[in-house]
């Protein structure tokens, strides 16, 4: 999670409406709200099992971070950092997978509408690794995996594929920004 600057933005990060956050505070525990309203741009991850997890600061907010809510690009970049630092999906791991395989995974998350979405027919890994969430989170994951694929293609010297994959990162970012703006507008 990337910390927000307002309760509205925090509610969106917690997949709640502003009304739900303010009226039914029990839908989001105090720790969720505290993390979501931390220094804008700070990156947190969940450590532990469901219901017993703790939020851990992964990376503090960048110096000079603007005080507006995070953009889709920032959310995608933060997810990529989380994938590397928390999940261990390093450059070596990505290079072993290859840009093509990572792209198939990104397509699967890009097309997933929500947490009940079935894996894409071309999902490249064991079904246990398929973990869709909300539409917004799926787009963030897709963008981060597309970025990993682009970086892998660049290291392999496949610049045409890299450029194509970076276009997909941008596409995920545009769609995500549009969804986030729509959510904010409907709550404003």
Q: Assess whether pLDDT exceeds 60 at residue 64.
A: no
Q: CA-CA distances (angstroms) from residue 19 to 6, 184, 187?
A: 13, 12, 8
Asked whether 42 and 61 are in contact (CB, 8 A), the reply is: yes
> b/e per residue, 97-114, with b = 16+ CB within 10 A?
bebebbbbbbbbbbebee
End-to-end CA distance of the chain: 22
Q: Assess whether pLDDT exceeds 60 at residue 18.
A: no
- C-alpha atoms less than 13 angstroms from C-alpha of 40 in its C-beta half-sphere: 14
What is the band of 122 on the pLDDT scale with cuts at 50, 70, 90? very high
Asked whether 130 and 123 are in contact (CB, 8 A), the reply is: yes
pLDDT tens for each residue of 33-53? 556 555 656 666 666 665 566
Q: Nearest 5°: phi and psi at 54? A: -125, 150
What is the band of 176 on the pLDDT scale with cuts at 50, 70, 90? very high
What is the band of 112 on the pLDDT scale with cuts at 50, 70, 90? very high
What is the band of 26 on the pLDDT scale with cuts at 50, 70, 90? very low
Tokens 């925090």 appear where?
10
Q: Assess whether pLDDT exceeds 50 at residue 130.
A: yes
> Cα–Cα distance between 94 and 46 in angstroms, integer?
23
Q: Among 41-55, 71-85, 104-118, 123-137, which is the least confidently predicted range? A: 41-55
Q: Give the model's pLDDT for residue 67.
A: 47
* Residues with Cβ within 8 Å of residue 15, at least 6 apart in sequence: 134, 136, 137
Displacement of CA 91 from its chain's centroid (Å): 18
Asked whether 91 and 99 are in contact (CB, 8 A), the reply is: no
Q: Give the model's pLDDT for residue 11.
A: 60
**Which of the 8 DSSP states describes residue 54?**
E
> Cα–Cα distance between 148 and 166 in angstroms, integer?
10
């Amino acid at each position: 999670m990337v910390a927000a600057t307002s309760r509205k933005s925090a509610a969106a990060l917690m997949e709640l409406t502003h009304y739900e956050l303010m009226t039914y505070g029990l839908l989001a525990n105090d720790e969720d709200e505290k993390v979501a309203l931390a220094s804008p741009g700070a990156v947190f991850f969940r450590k532990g099992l469901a219901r017993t997890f703790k939020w851990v600061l992964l990376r503090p907010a960048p110096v000079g971070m603007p005080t507006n809510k995070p953009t889709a690009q920032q959310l995608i970049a933060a997810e990529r950092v989380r994938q590397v630092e928390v999940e261990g999906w390093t450059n070596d791991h990505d290079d072993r997978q290859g840009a093509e395989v990572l792209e198939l995974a990104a397509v699967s998350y890009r097309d997933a509408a929500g947490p009940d979405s079935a894996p894409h027919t071309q999902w490249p890994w064991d079904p246990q690794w398929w973990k869709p969430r909300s539409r917004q989170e799926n787009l963030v994951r897709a963008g981060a995996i597309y970025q990993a694929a682009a970086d892998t293609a660049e290291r392999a010297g496949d610049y045409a594929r890299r450029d194509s994959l970076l276009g997909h990162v941008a596409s995920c970012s545009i769609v995500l920004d549009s969804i986030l703006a729509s959510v904010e507008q409907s709550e404003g």
